[in-house]
Amino acid sequence: MRQYVGQMGAWNLTVLAIIIASWVIYRYFAPSNWREWASAGIVQAFIISLYAEMYGFPLTVYLAVRFFGMDRGDLTTNLWSSLLGFDEAMVLAMLLGYALALVGICLIVGGWRELYRNRKKGTLATGRLYKFVRHPQYLGLFIVLFGEGVVHWPTLLSVSLLPFIMFFYIALAKREEETLERLFGKQYALYKQDVPAFVPRWDQLRDAVMIWILFRD
């Protein structure tokens, strides 16, 4: 049976989305050595592949039709709605993906601001988001990419590239910590002992949420 896959082919939106997402990456992560540029390059490939399929050509759905026999006439450009068979799946995935992306962006921007303040003073960043995790910006990046490239609009390349991106940035974080240990010595060693790298402790996270709820006014 000849398959119908509705797709927008909106390449102008593809280019715009890639430019905006790339600006965010290079603005808030500012690679300065070859390791950082290599990691940013993988993220760039993730961004291009994601938005090329989201607004351009749905390669993942096409391959699913071609090689896995998804022989239905109601396929769409979104993998979730194509797999589950109803359009509302795409809407639910979009809402959840955007929610995760928003959380991740807040972590990226908030972490960058705190890091910028401390760099100007020449001090170690241990306040605000850095009280909960040592690498809030990288955690935010992982959440954004997971929300957009797995939950909202999964593609073959986005799902495949995400583990490599996480591996490279975790390795990069370890190298950054070696530098910080040389710069701040025992202060950073104690901070590293008390604060987890990427996953906040439940008790700290719970207390922070309760404080925000009680004193937000």
Specify the CATH number for the domain of residue 61: 1.20.120.1630
Q: What is the mean pLDDT of residues 136-155?
A: 93
Average pLDDT, the chain: 83
The token duo for 86 is: 């109803």
Please indicate, yes or no, if residue 170 is contained in any of the structural domains: yes
Specify the range with the lowest mean pLDDT, choosing from 43-52, 141-150, 185-194: 43-52
Please indicate, yes or no, if residue 6 is contained in any of the structural domains: no
Q: What is the mean pLDDT of residues 71-78?
A: 61
Q: What is the mean pLDDT of residues 135-148?
A: 95
Q: Letter for the amino acid at 141? A: L
pLDDT over threshold 60, residue 151 = yes
Decide: pTM greater than 0.85: no
Please indicate, yes or no, if residue 157 is contained in any of the structural domains: yes
- Give the residue carrying structure tokens 């699913």: 64
Please indicate, yes or no, if residue 125 is contained in any of the structural domains: yes
Q: The dihedral of CA 91, 93, 97, 100: what is its sign?
A: positive
State which residues form the domain around 47. Answer: 11-215
Of the chain, the percentage scoring pLDDT greater than 70 comes to 78
Please indicate, yes or no, if residue 5 is contained in any of the structural domains: no
User: Closest by alpha carbon to 141, among 161, 126, 157, 123?
Assistant: 161
Phi and psi, residue 154, nearest 5°: -70, 135
Residue 29 has a pLDDT of 85
Please indicate, yes or no, if residue 2 is contained in any of the structural domains: no
H or E element in which residue 205 lies:
helix 202-215
Give the separation between CA 76 and CA 154, rounded to whole angstroms: 13
Please, which residues have CB within 8 angstroms of residue 110's CB and are 6 or more apart in sequence? 128, 129, 136
How many domains is the chain built from?
Answer: 1
